[in-house]
Structure 1
């Protein structure tokens, strides 16, 4: 199973959907995102199989392709520069998170209807998705780097023993080859150790749900994800000119939702910490984004968004409490 694509939701108000197999492919022209969905139903009107498929330009005969664009106006030359930080992988990560939430909702709905067989099948699919997501998250976020460093350390011990045997047997050509392997493995082990330590000791200046502004491009955004270091591909980092940053790739990076009224073509950006700025005064202005409704409960009294519990758990972040402001209460009493 691949999680490079997101299975979109059908009618979430009922688990007993149509018994006909449906295939839908949605392509967002503006963000260049293509994802597929396929749900096969049993004859007794329950979901049998959710299959992830890789994004493709060839959706097949049963594919329904839709070209969609924002109705908002914005962007411009500055926006085109800002879109260098647009991240399809971050967008995909958010959509997969939404799919997990949708599956969990369907499980609960089936239990409420006492459809235990349906709930069991949905739960099994949810477990499969969660296991794959956890695996990829560990690879991305350094947990696997720690294990990788330990494995490389064991391999180094074995190679050093082989080197000693080769020298004792005066097999110097073999010894030279083993030395080269040891040198390469030591470099890889050091890199894996540094990455694992960076993830374990990460400190973030911004929090989930916090409204921020881009220092260079000026757009408003809200934080919906974070990594202790840049976890994008080398080609993305090259296009985004990460090497020109003061702190480079070894600084926290944030997944941010960009207000569609300010740049309707950006949608999701992956921004280094040094390029973000928290507003000096609470930002209580309206903020529009299609993902906000399932990532956040709403806004708090300071104007920031309140992340859903599952999002906090995903990034292991504590719940943020707005500091008590007695002056605000006094103003409220006067108005009353």
Structure 2
């Protein structure tokens, strides 16, 4: 979820024009250009409104009769019902910011092509701001803090340890206990961050970007569009999704997956993006070359390869630092995996 960069910052980018799908996206957000969208309700309403406009425009989808109702993403207090426990608001917002990043980059290039250099510079500045915020969020997600934050934490622990020694010498044991607890908390946070950073460096994923998968429990088909080495959702989400009951818990890879919204009758028809533990995903026994419908597909992937999986765009592979997947030659005959 973006905190440092507001939606208004992302969409207010001067007077440049751009043809194509993202023009419809920006049109849906024009009412919010003049004020800061700060409250949770305002962000949810703006997102729902813009998504409805985007995916009700035939030019943004291969299926002109296809419609998506996005209101499910922010309904609160619903009961734990089936596949819906794994739907992810943060994953949707993550994809939204990625779309904005792509849009800004395209608009910078367009402004340069028509020699509007002042506008190109303005757009480039905003793109730099967005990219910096994305990097900050990714570092936080990985358990990495800035150098200054790490130094501040280390100095804070040293200061607390000095205060602890003074409290013990003065026999102020109540204060000493409080200081000891605070030191333990800071050290635990530092250890957790280090463990998460190490997990990002050494993780081995069983599934790849663009791969078609099937949910082991709910049976729906999906496509992988993102991945984390551990569960990076909030504690409340993990409680709702009952992550503790998983055999591998929260320390296994988790995947952002796009759910087939048209064909999967066993899944909740309102689920667009789910966040699923690796142990709950299965690779198909045979190449899945069947059609797959989702409004995000055309933005994140070029199309299907000969094995039926989707080919991620270069920017998506760079986002997750994943190599290009080469389909074995025998997949053309349907014999490969």
Task: Give, in angstroms, the shift of residue 184 of structure 1.
Answer: 2.8
Query: Which residue is 1:208 aligned to?
Result: 209
Deviates more, 1:99-108 or 1:179-188: 179-188
Distance 1:98 1:176, change over 3 A: closer
Cα deviation, 1:78-124, whole Å, max 9, x if unaligned, reads x9511111111101110110111011111111111111111111111
Conserved? CA contact 1:208–1:225, under 8 Å: yes
Report SS of the residue matched to 2:286: coil
In proportion to residue count, which structure has more strand?
A: 1
Conserved? CA contact 1:5–1:55, under 8 Å: no
Query: Which residue is 1:46 aligned to?
Result: none
- Of the candidates 283, 296, 310, which is equivalent to residue 288 of structure 2? 283
Query: Which residue is 1:247 aligned to?
Result: 248
Conserved? CA contact 2:214–2:281, under 8 Å: yes
Matching of residue 297 in structure 1 with residue 302 in structure 2 = yes
Distance 1:102 1:54, change over 3 A: farther
- What are the residue-to-residue correspondences of 1:151-230 with 2, within 5 Å? 152-167=153-168, 174-230=175-231
Task: Give, in angstroms, the shift of residue 194 of structure 1.
Answer: 2.2
Cα deviation, 1:211-258, whole Å, max 9, x if unaligned, reads 100011111100000111111111111111112111111111100001
Query: Which residue is 1:118 aligned to?
Result: 119
Distance 1:56 1:182, change over 3 A: closer
Cα deviation, 1:246-277, whole Å, max 9, x if unaligned, reads 11111111000011111431111000100000
Query: Which residue is 2:312 aligned to?
Result: 307
Matching of residue 318 in structure 1 with residue 323 in structure 2 = yes
How many angstroms apart in 1 are the aligned matches of 2:42 and 2:179? 46
Task: Give, in angstroms, the shift of residue 39 of structure 1.
Answer: 4.2
Distance 1:109 1:55, change over 3 A: farther
How many angstroms apart in 2 are the aligned matches of 1:145 and 1:218? 42
Query: Which residue is 2:41 aligned to?
Result: 56
How many angstroms apart in 2 are the aligned matches of 1:94 and 1:231? 15
Conserved? CA contact 2:307–2:331, under 8 Å: no
Per the normalisation by structure 1, the TM-score is: 0.75
Conserved? CA contact 2:6–2:36, under 8 Å: no
How many angstroms apart in 1 are the aligned matches of 2:153 and 2:102? 37
How many angstroms apart in 2 are the aligned matches of 1:291 and 1:326? 26
Report SS of the residue matched to 1:317: coil
Distance 1:201 1:224, change over 3 A: same
Distance 1:110 1:206, change over 3 A: same
Q: Runs of 5+ in structure 2 lacking a partner? A: 57-65, 70-79
Report SS of the residue matched to 1:56: helix
Task: Give, in angstroms, the shift of residue 158 of structure 1.
Answer: 3.4
Distance 1:37 1:86, change over 3 A: farther
Conserved? CA contact 1:2–1:52, under 8 Å: no
Report SS of the residue matched to 1:251: coil
Conserved? CA contact 1:220–1:258, under 8 Å: yes
In proportion to residue count, which structure has more helix?
A: 2
How many angstroms apart in 2 are the aligned matches of 1:66 and 1:245? 35
Distance 1:267 1:8, change over 3 A: farther
Conserved? CA contact 1:86–1:266, under 8 Å: yes
Q: Runs of 5+ in structure 1 lacking a partner? A: 26-35, 41-49, 74-78, 330-336
Point out the structure with max Rg over C-alpha.
1
Conserved? CA contact 2:18–2:110, under 8 Å: no
Distance 1:327 1:286, change over 3 A: closer
Matching of residue 12 in structure 1 with residue 18 in structure 2 = yes
Task: Give the aligned length.
Answer: 297
How many angstroms apart in 2 are the aligned matches of 1:308 and 1:318? 11
Per the normalisation by structure 2, the TM-score is: 0.75
Report SS of the residue matched to 1:223: strand
Distance 1:53 1:13, change over 3 A: farther
